[in-house]
Amino acid sequence: MAESVDRLFVHCRELVTLAEGPATGARRGAAMRQLGVIADGAIAVRGGRVVATGPTERITRDYRATDELDLSGFVVMPGFVDCHTHPVFATTREQEFHMRCAGADYMAIAAAGGGILSSMRAVREMPLEQLAARTERHLWGFAAHGTTTVECKTGYGLSLVDEQKSLQALQRAAGKVPLTTKRTFLGAHEFPPEYRQDRDAYVRLLCDEMIPTLAPHADYCDVFAEPGVFDRAQSERILVAARAHGLRLRMHADEIQPMGGAELAVQLGAVSADHLGRISDAGIAAMAQSDTVGVLLPGTILFLAKPHYAPARRMIDAGCAVAIATDFNPGSCHTQSMSLIQTLACSQMKMSAEEVITAATINPAFSLQLDHEVGSLHPGKRADLCVFDMPSWRAVGYMFGGNPVVMTVKDGVPLSANVVEQRPDWSSPRGAR
Ligand code: NIG
Ligand code: FE
């Protein structure tokens, strides 16, 4: 007798499960290339969770449901896990983009009071309701691009009340959008104007007031560790204080100038070290021996027109746990497309198609302590899916500039964000590809 479930997704042209490898933990080296692809695949879902995956023939024999969705023609993978974003902002900063295109430098714009501080002014001025609505719109944008789990940083308030407002806006927005979200307190994103003459006083405010007050409302604490912003000693003080208040640690590390950021992240037991365009050999060696995930953000390097993409190949070959993410923010990378990030990861960082799938699903899930819930289609995990209009999973990264995601499924429910009615025909003139 067939077992009854809520819904069946059937006839996926290819179903990428990542279920050949272990359900939890980060995947390193050759294990990043084990995808578990099922031709004409199907998924049985009950209570929003994966019950089973397999060939459609077997799944439809073993399971029955009144609700059956035919996905013939489409490639299906686990929903994207975007583990580094800054969605709590009020206004865009396109003028800075064009200033950079005309020759201005990102850090010089920031030093002149633009950059993060201009976003800070906008966030401080915007009422909570409106900031929550903006943030909600940004979250729907992730969903439309196939992201089902997203890490969200604050960092444009830079005062106790404005960081609190940012966390509240995030909480309200997250309550309205069916995505799995994690919250990161990034009060150490920049020094606000009122503390620019006495930077250590802002570090004290962070450690003694902001972190103790806001830690219950966040999952992680992050610091923009960069020469000219938070130096090594300041970053360490802030992160140690955050850890003492129960927050796990993430870090903007070695982005523009090398600073031993990766080494510090490992030393502090951070769950991730992010950017890493200028990571040192010692940093790579330290990360390879640790559970600190290297979150690479090639969209930012592209958008800022910087020369140093993170050395993904060397990191993967050394055994580091590597993830990729959008870094969606109003200044240095305004994209929500993990598909575009996969293109850059392949073409600029020389990652393989298999690696950029693993780096966008199970590895970022591990960095968010959600690997038991999302990131692969093992039975028991959330039925979070990304449905692609592409001929094969191998076309990942290849189609760029548009959105190859035609449907996002969260907890077994298709979101209507971007469903297309027309079925693709990917057959070649002579039949089989
Ligand atoms: O990750 N590096 C610092 N923070 C962001 C940029 C934020 C901004 O410019 O608004 C980043 O690139
Ligand atoms: Fe960032």
Closest to 185 measured CA to CA, from 249, 276, 101 = 249
Ligand 1 atom with the smallest distance to the CA of 275 is: 1
Q: Is 252 in the pocket of ligand 1 (CB under 6 A)?
A: yes
DSSP result, 136-186: HHHHHHHHHTTEEEEEEE--S--SHHHHHHHHHHHHHHHHHS-SEEEEEEE
Confidence of residue 1 (pLDDT cuts 50, 70, 90): confident
Average pLDDT over residues 270-278: 98
Place of tokens 């503390």: 195
Average pLDDT over residues 285-294: 98
Q: Is 224 in the pocket of ligand 1 (CB under 6 A)?
A: yes
Distance of CA 156 to CAs 87, 130, 160, 203, Å? 10, 15, 11, 16
If one counts every other C-beta atom within 10 angstroms of the C-beta of residue 270, the result is: 28
| pLDDT value of position 420 | 46
**Identity of the amino acid at 69:** L
d(CA 231, CA 180) in angstroms, rounded, equals: 32
For residues 260 and 283, the answer to whether their CB atoms sit within 8 Å is yes
Q: Is 119 in the pocket of ligand 1 (CB under 6 A)?
A: yes
For residues 70 and 8, the answer to whether their CB atoms sit within 8 Å is no
CATH topology of domain 81-367: TIM Barrel (3.20.20)
Place of tokens 């060696």: 285
Closest to 71 measured CA to CA, from 399, 419, 354 = 419
| pLDDT value of position 429 | 59
* Whether pLDDT at 430 is above 90: no
From the CA of 327, how far away is ligand 1's center (Å)? Answer: 8
* H and E: helices and strands count for the chain: 16, 18
In this structure, which residue's CA is closest to atom 7 in ligand 1?
331
Ligand located closest to 331 CA: 1
Instruction: Write out pLDDT tens, residues 140-176.
Output: 999 999 999 999 999 999 999 999 999 999 999 999 9
| pLDDT value of position 425 | 62
Ligand located closest to 229 CA: 1
Q: Is 327 in the pocket of ligand 1 (CB under 6 A)?
A: yes
DSSP letter, residue 131: H
Place of tokens 């060397």: 314
d(CA 225, CA 301) in angstroms, rounded, equals: 17
In this structure, which residue's CA is closest to atom 6 in ligand 1?
332
Using N-to-C axis directions, what is the helix angle for 160-176 and 116-125, rounded to 10°?
Answer: 80
From the CA of 293, how far away is ligand 1's center (Å)? Answer: 19
d(CA 229, CA 188) in angstroms, rounded, equals: 9
Confidence of residue 106 (pLDDT cuts 50, 70, 90): confident
Q: Is 298 in the pocket of ligand 1 (CB under 6 A)?
A: no
| pLDDT value of position 433 | 45
Give residue limits of the domains in the chain: 3-78+375-417, 81-367
- Cα 156 from chain centroid? 19
d(CA 58, CA 60) in angstroms, rounded, equals: 6
From the CA of 377, how far away is ligand 2's center (Å)? Answer: 28
For residues 378 and 23, the answer to whether their CB atoms sit within 8 Å is yes
Confidence of residue 422 (pLDDT cuts 50, 70, 90): low
In this structure, which residue's CA is closest to atom 3 in ligand 1?
224
Q: Is 294 in the pocket of ligand 1 (CB under 6 A)?
A: no
Coil, strand, or helix at residue 14? Answer: strand
From the CA of 332, how far away is ligand 1's center (Å)? Answer: 6
In this structure, which residue's CA is closest to atom 1 in ligand 1?
327
d(CA 299, CA 335) in angstroms, rounded, equals: 8
From the CA of 222, how far away is ligand 2's center (Å)? Answer: 9
For residues 96 and 37, the answer to whether their CB atoms sit within 8 Å is no
E strands in 17-96:
37-46, 49-55, 63-64, 67-70, 75-78, 80-85
d(CA 293, CA 280) in angstroms, rounded, equals: 15
Alpha helices in 182-231 (DSSP H): 199-205, 211-214
Both tokens of residue 283?
């940093």
From the CA of 115, how far away is ligand 1's center (Å)? Answer: 8
- Based on the number of CB atoms within 10 Å of its own CB, is 352 exposed (0-12), middle (13-18) or buried (19 or more)? middle
| pLDDT value of position 111 | 82
Ligand located closest to 226 CA: 1
CATH topology of domain 3-78+375-417: Urease, subunit C; domain 1 (2.30.40)
Ligand located closest to 299 CA: 1
Ligand located closest to 224 CA: 1
Q: Is 329 in the pocket of ligand 1 (CB under 6 A)?
A: yes
| pLDDT value of position 432 | 46
Q: Is 153 in the pocket of ligand 1 (CB under 6 A)?
A: no
For residues 325 and 341, the answer to whether their CB atoms sit within 8 Å is yes
* Whether pLDDT at 342 is above 50: yes
The H-or-E segment that residue 275 falls in is: strand 272-275
For residues 223 and 239, the answer to whether their CB atoms sit within 8 Å is yes
Using N-to-C axis directions, what is the helix angle for 128-144 and 160-176, rounded to 10°?
Answer: 50
